[in-house]
Structure 1
């Protein structure tokens, strides 16, 4: 048993609330269980109850055993001086305040129905993937949909934090922030951090000025990616290297910011050469990209903006000096979907928050038009009867698995709580 189960019991009064008595035999009448704030200090604040003939207002602390009070050194913490009731599963020792007055104890195990306990044990018993895997599909649709919405915005909150951090380093230039986030996501998992460092090494004012010539953007991107450091016979390589040297001196750019991008384990279409060229062409084709992506009417509008290919040279190359069969290397719909999920939606969410605007329904509507991701987590949910219809639902399921199921936070999850109530 874990303490969070006792928090659940107390918060929702899942015990026989009538005829409660302290370990000393005094009657307890709960007026208000208090607020569960999950902060430092006692578990429930501003509770109200009558113990004996005295009405009390204060805090409630919950432990598996009353001796945990001393294990956690609460006797030395002033924050616990206002505890009016110590709720425990098992009472094994008396607990005293600093003035030597004993804190009343409620031993909860005497008042919990065996069925509630068995439901909890059933929910958290070890299983192959998630605790509720055999029951999750039984959750009422209304409950599950509401929970998915909260999960989705929890995930967006996390994704928006790096956006606000970038905003501070770019003098509140949203176009520059978008450039950095786009670069990171063009690099995917392997090169994402490298691409971000490249984007941060080039002032966005330089990108604005040089975007009329795509070769200049490629020179900057490839130069900071360390792809122009060697000597090659290839004329395009020589041209980019010459441009990079000129631009670096023109704008007095940092010479020591180069990174080493990775080709290993990538399919050729995801090689950093191809993705950097596509990113360069995106900014060559679209000025004021942030403004264009702020209020698209539909997903199709975004797809039109991202109808981008690599430069002509890369149609028959994946690396310098190595000719390959000719192929037009356009951004795929699946890749643009990832950009929508990981770049555009978080940027729109962060910008709306900075402006005090409410666009929750717009974001959900946008992602309802994007197909769900395909990955091992989605495969498992589908196996257990939960099939996402769109990216809004798949993003919610990823949040559920990573932040609740994987952390054993069943009693903070609407699914877990619903199963405990209904079993």
Structure 2
């Protein structure tokens, strides 16, 4: 029998259920020569399928206990008494549990029908090196950035690069969830979903929710009908966004736009109630909602086949050409109504277009192609690899740890890694944590 280390200290201070899941899922215990807490022989024929939803932790396991074959589910806990703490004894979903896998058996466990469930106490069988490496990984100082920061640079570079590519597509899948929700709201109108997402991302971080509410409220059929007339489309966007509410403004364009908005609001029976007013606070003038909404109106006026052109995108330069737009003339000398500023074209910058590619265009291409049953992974990788890495605090900290992001696929993957795995202590689901645990 393998002897664990740290014994009670490790259990009380460090043992977590995710380690037990990892050990069971990856077969880090002897498949044969096991025994239950009642000293019955146990042979694992199949570990089962890991369940990430409600119900037992592993489905469809196959075991042989004292020579008798069993097929069913496996539940895993740190202490056997967690079975009662989680009220599994009252839940019929756990009636088919054939083995209770625990670190420590502190009580005997029964099904609803009062039958005892065989228990495997893992502390008698876990290899010591796994506990040692796990303790080192999760016993980092509280002021560390991530658990593995001291060992990250030692991980095999090829293995880590493959993991980053997988994380990038995991991030695309998450963004696809939002697209699919919007698609359901829009009754499968892909062009409307693109409009909503573009609005959201034109709002950047500060005004993303305000612009999103604007996109959800405005019927896209109205956008289609007004796209040939920039002034009318601007009037509707500005009016719905609450940017024409100033009663004291004497600006000529403001007055004309407000009049036009009232006319179009009544003509199309536009409802105003649920739109959040965007903010100007702490924004550079180039990111003012007035400028961004004017740019978007000009985009739709100059790109009548916008959705088709975006879905067919194969090169970054094509995106730069599609989004080579600026504001209307009025907004080249103004940032707000009635206040003249030095003339500026206010074109979309390449860095802004890169953000649109990362957050809107590539997720749309990915999701739409998946909806059609086509695999465009290689095309997406080719495009995203040509985009510069994002520059933020998280990316810079990973750079300091030896992870040099040379493109946007890497930076997006790192953000996914940090937000979804590192901050959630999901180290055992990460290639880095898995390698460190194995001592490789």
Do the structures match in fold with TM over 0.5?
A: yes
Within 2, Cα distance between the matches of 1:100 and 1:214? Answer: 73
Identify the residue that residue 370 of structure 1 maps to in structure 2: 387
Secondary structure at 1:56 match in 2: strand
| 2:145 aligns with one of 121, 129, 140 | 129
| 1:359 aligns with one of 361, 376, 391 | 376
Within 1, Cα distance between the matches of 2:51 and 2:273? Answer: 48
| 1:212 aligns with one of 218, 228, 236 | 228
RMSD: 1.7
**1:42–1:79: 8 Å Cα contact kept in structure 2?**
yes
| 2:181 aligns with one of 156, 162, 165 | 165
Task: State the shift of 1:374 in Å.
Answer: 0.8
| 1:249 aligns with one of 243, 266, 277 | 266
Task: State the shift of 1:191 in Å.
Answer: 1.1
Identify the residue that residue 8 of structure 2 maps to in structure 1: none
| Bigger mean CA offset, 372-381 vs 352-361 | 352-361
Task: State the shift of 1:399 in Å.
Answer: 0.8
Q: Does 1:350 align with 2:364?
A: no
Within 2, Cα distance between the matches of 1:303 and 1:83? Answer: 57
Identify the residue that residue 111 of structure 2 maps to in structure 1: 97
Task: State the shift of 1:407 in Å.
Answer: 0.8
Identify the residue that residue 4 of structure 1 maps to in structure 2: 18
Q: Does 1:29 align with 2:46?
A: no
Q: Does 1:145 align with 2:161?
A: yes
| Bigger mean CA offset, 228-237 vs 366-375 | 228-237
Within 1, Cα distance between the matches of 2:111 and 2:40? Answer: 18
Q: Does 1:45 align with 2:59?
A: yes
Secondary structure at 1:89 match in 2: strand
Q: Does 1:323 align with 2:340?
A: yes
Question: 1:25–1:259: structure 2 CA closer, same or farther, 3 Å change rule?
Answer: closer
Identify the residue that residue 288 of structure 2 maps to in structure 1: 271
Gaps in structure 1 of 5+ consecutive residues: none
Query: How many pairs are equivalent?
Result: 423
Within 2, Cα distance between the matches of 1:171 and 1:80? Answer: 39
**Mapping of 1:266-345 within 5 angstroms?**
266-345=283-362
Secondary structure at 1:351 match in 2: helix
Within 2, Cα distance between the matches of 1:91 and 1:258? Answer: 56
Within 1, Cα distance between the matches of 2:95 and 2:275? Answer: 57
CA-to-aligned-CA distance 1:258-278 (integer Å, 9 cap, x gap): 542100011111111111111
Identify the residue that residue 117 of structure 1 maps to in structure 2: 131
Gaps in structure 2 of 5+ consecutive residues: 1-14
